[in-house]
Each structure stands twice: as C-alpha cells, then as structure tokens.
Amino acid sequence: MTGPEKVAEANNNIPPNKSRRDFLSITANIGLFGWLATSFYSIFSFLRSPDILYTDSERIGLGELDAMQPGTGKPFKLGNTPGILVRMSDGSLKAFSAVCSHMKCVVEYKEEEKLFLCPCHKGRYDLTGKVLSGPPPKPLSELKTEVVRNQIVVSQITERIKDA
C-alpha cells in the first residue's frame, strides 16, 4: 500500500456526518450532566442528617446510641474543647476532654489497646481517664453523658459550691 492509499483508507474509517457541532453538543451535554450530578449531591449532602445533631458550648448531640458499637470511640468538639466519647464493652458510655493534662496536646483513643494516648510525650490513660504512664500529672477531665430518646448527649459537668 502506498502513502495515498493509506490516507484514503484512514479517511474511510471516519464516521460520516460527524461535525464540530455534534462534538460540541456532546461535550455540552456531558458538562450539563456533570453539573446536575454535583448539584444534586450537594443538595442531598446538605439535607441529610449530620452525625452531630446539635452543639453549643455546654452540650452536644452525637447521634444514636445504636449506631455506636461497644469498644469504639468517637471524637467530638464541645465548644472549643476536643473530646472523646467511648462506648465501653459493657455498653455504657464514657466521655472525656481530649486535652492532655501535661502539655495540652489532644489525646487519641486507641481501640486495639483500649486506652487513650497522648502523641506528644506518650502519656497513657486508661478508660476511666486515670494516668497509666508518662508525664501527665492529672487524669483526663470526665464529661457527663446521657441518652435521651436513644440519642447520645454529652455535656460539661458543672460543680456547684455549697454555701456554708
């Protein structure tokens, strides 16, 4: 096959009636479909129920009790303070401020080890918030947990001073 024959054969493989207008129409339709898909996804994401139901500086709703498996933890923020909610193996709930008492780093819950770990200086706390090892001078501050209509609510523990 010579050069002109190859060009003629290649031109025969081009589908007939494909124009620039058809290409632009297909491209515009794909763009419109993409825009509609992202718009619907954004609206759906806005309307669906969030994991955190409500929050203020004194309490926060953290979702349904049934959605949290025993032995798991869930980080949250109560006002400006990070916290950790843990569902114990017996099904009870414990919540603590996630602020280490040593250098104010944010502690993490380690499910495999069933403890809290401060990544800054390796301070370790047990599931009651007591210091196991490391430099932290005090235990983690416990927060109040309650279940209201199967919804987990965590709030600050407010101490009242008795008048003498």
* 0.95 surpassed by pTM: no
Question: Could you tell me the CA-to-CA distances from 84 to 32, 107, 130, 158 in Å, in that order?
Answer: 43, 9, 14, 18
Tell me whether residue 20 is in a domain: yes
| Residues 63 and 131 both lie in one domain | yes
10 and 90 co-located in one domain? no
Number of domains into which the chain is organized: 2
Q: Please give the single-letter amino acid code of residue 42.
A: S
- Structural domain that includes position 10: 3-47
Check residues 39 and 6 and name the one with the higher pLDDT.
Answer: 39
Task: Report whether pLDDT(30) > 90.
Answer: yes
- pLDDT for 56 equals 54
| Sheet of strand 115-117, all strands in order from the earlier edge strand to the far edge | 108-110, 115-117, 124-125, 131-133
Does the structure show a pLDDT above 80 at 137?
Answer: yes
